[in-house]
Amino acid sequence: MTPRVSLQYSQWWIMKKPRAAVGNGTRRRKQASSQEGRGKRALSSSQAKSSVPDACAGTIPEFPEVPAGLARQQEEVVLQASVSPYHLFRDTAEVTVFRESLLSWYDREKRDLPWRRLAESEVDPDKRAYDVWVSEVMLQQTQVATVISYYTRWMQKWPTLHDLASASLEEVNQLWAGLGYYSRGRRLQAGARKVVEELGGHMPRTAETLQRLLPGVGRYTAGAIASIAFGQATGVVDGNVVRVLCRVRAIGADPSSTLVSQQLWSLAQQLVDPARPGDFNQAAMELGAMVCTPQRPLCSQCPVQSLCRAYQRVEREQLSASRSLPGTCDIEECAPNTGQCQLCSPPTEPWDQMLGVANFPRKANRRPPREECRATCILEQPRAFGGARILLVQRPNSGLLAGLWEFPSVTAEPAGQHQRKALLQELQSWVGPLPATRLQHLGQVVHTFSHIKLTYQVYSLALEERTPATIVPPGARWLTREEFHTAAVSTAMKKVFRVFESQQPGTCKASKRSRMSTLSRRKKPSPGQQVLDNFLRPHIPADAPSLNSAAQ
């Protein structure tokens, strides 16, 4: 149970607390003509998988009998009382060295990214905030290399908030198709409409108002926009920053816990450079993405190596292993009296010599995704007027892949005998009676979403009638193959369609198989060569699946 603290102790601690750790939360940078704080940050694949950024908002427990502001102060006292100074920055000199070293490295090594160029050159603060906002939303859970092309197309199509606000949701889904986590695009457009229709076209200027007024904007995104676009001295914590701070201060406790998460935000706020907050936040994230990586970090290239307690621990362990130094325990430096520091690694997770600094941060215990199976069918009209067409139906407006288009599908057991029957009934609900004998199984596709491992059993069925392609039931579309590739469909459906295309006559794979069989007929090897070929030919089990596409 969290201990309560007295008001007198709270006031004493606030007075004694280093100025940098207290004042930054309320400082605001003047917005006159400064060009500082502009630019953009980048995420790595490790960020694509972190849950810290926007999930941290509202996690500070408040005492009901005191005002919220005082409750936050008391919570900070509890945090400080339950951790050792070993995990903190104890003087301003350390903070100054950290800022200067990190920003100097960033100025030399930062990547040239399209959102950074836009933000650095944009004069209009609302347009600059929009440029940053779009990139921040796209970069959540997604790698930089993937985002670049999407961001470029997006800004070409909707260069301003007003352009995005006037777009249709169908257009947004279409451009977002393949980027994943589709609710991000919907919330981005909803936010743009709110800014245009309710806020006079002006973006909120602080992290607090951004988070409060804009849908889908959490604590991290709000802080990133406020610091980069408006120069507010507010720290940010994403997956990369978690990793950097946990290593620099040897924080081995679970970073997703309330106490550790709040301590990381406190450290980020203490460290952020008030003169260049946007650049500093991007530099911290860039360091995690490029140098302080999850595996095989490049410690020799780290600009803050001298301040890194994880690196110091590695050196100490190496000396101890070589018997040059008597064995020491890191916890003794951290909490010599009690051994109960809330930021240290638990005793059940001893130091792994092979991991080095990658012992930090502690790996989260994540549940494996649940497994589901669906049967889906590419229903084609090969003889439709105007060219061959395939049927797509729209998903519900809420839930997984909301509003996107897909092939008719049904939930099915992995090896259920009624799979074909259920799928045929679903198809008939869209187009009327169909012959069951034409339903052909093509293979399977496995696609992993954030929390679901979904296996699609892929079928096809061709309609022989020359039905006009313009006749469609509500919620369905007949599209050409070319139109399918530009429609608002998920990556999973594109994988399913590739299975279908691979089975069609005239495709590259089919043509390659045909050429190989022709060559084998033309060239008849000698009897001795036939025996050698049979001996070297790999054995393929008869029950091997026709396709098992791994999820990306």
Cα–Cα distance between 349 and 366 in angstroms, integer? 17
Tell the burial category of 507 from Cβ atoms under 10 Å away from its Cβ (0-12, 13-18, 19+). middle
The secondary structure element, H or E, covering residue 453 is: strand 452-462
Would you state the pLDDT for residue 470? 53
Helices (H), 206-276: 207-213, 219-230, 239-248, 258-271
Residue 116 gets which letter from DSSP? H
Give 490-503 pLDDT, tens digit per residue: 889 999 999 998 88
Please check whether residue 116 is in contact with residue 148, taking contact to mean a CB–CB distance below 8 angstroms: no
Cβ contacts of 56 within 8 Å, gap of 6 or more: 218, 219, 220, 237, 261, 265
Spatial CA neighbour of 36 closest among 390, 218, 274: 274
Would you state the pLDDT for residue 408? 95
Cα–Cα distance between 402 and 98 in angstroms, integer? 44
Would you state the pLDDT for residue 507? 53
Would you state the pLDDT for residue 321? 75
How many CB atoms lie under 10 A from the CB of residue 80? Answer: 17
Please check whether residue 24 is in contact with residue 223, taking contact to mean a CB–CB distance below 8 angstroms: no
Parts of the chain with a pLDDT under 50: 1-69, 71-72, 74-75, 77-78, 327-332, 336-337, 508-552
Catalytic residue among 75, 76, 136, 317: 136
Give 123-176 pLDDT, tens digit per residue: 999 999 999 999 999 999 899 999 999 999 999 999 999 999 999 999 999 999
Would you state the pLDDT for residue 341? 82
Cβ contacts of 413 within 8 Å, gap of 6 or more: 373, 419
Question: Residue 18 phi/psi, 5° resolution?
Answer: -55, 140
Would you state the pLDDT for residue 417? 65
Would you state the pLDDT for residue 26? 38
Would you state the pLDDT for residue 471? 63
What is the DSSP pairing of strand 548-549 with strand 440-448?
Answer: parallel
Would you state the pLDDT for residue 413? 77
Three-state DSSP class for residue 270: helix
Cα–Cα distance between 234 and 236 in angstroms, integer? 7
This prediction has a pTM of 0.70
Active site residue 426: no
What is the DSSP pairing of strand 389-394 with strand 476-479?
Answer: antiparallel
Please check whether residue 40 is in contact with residue 113, taking contact to mean a CB–CB distance below 8 angstroms: yes
Would you state the pLDDT for residue 331? 42
Would you state the pLDDT for residue 7? 34
How many CB atoms lie under 10 A from the CB of residue 79? Answer: 20
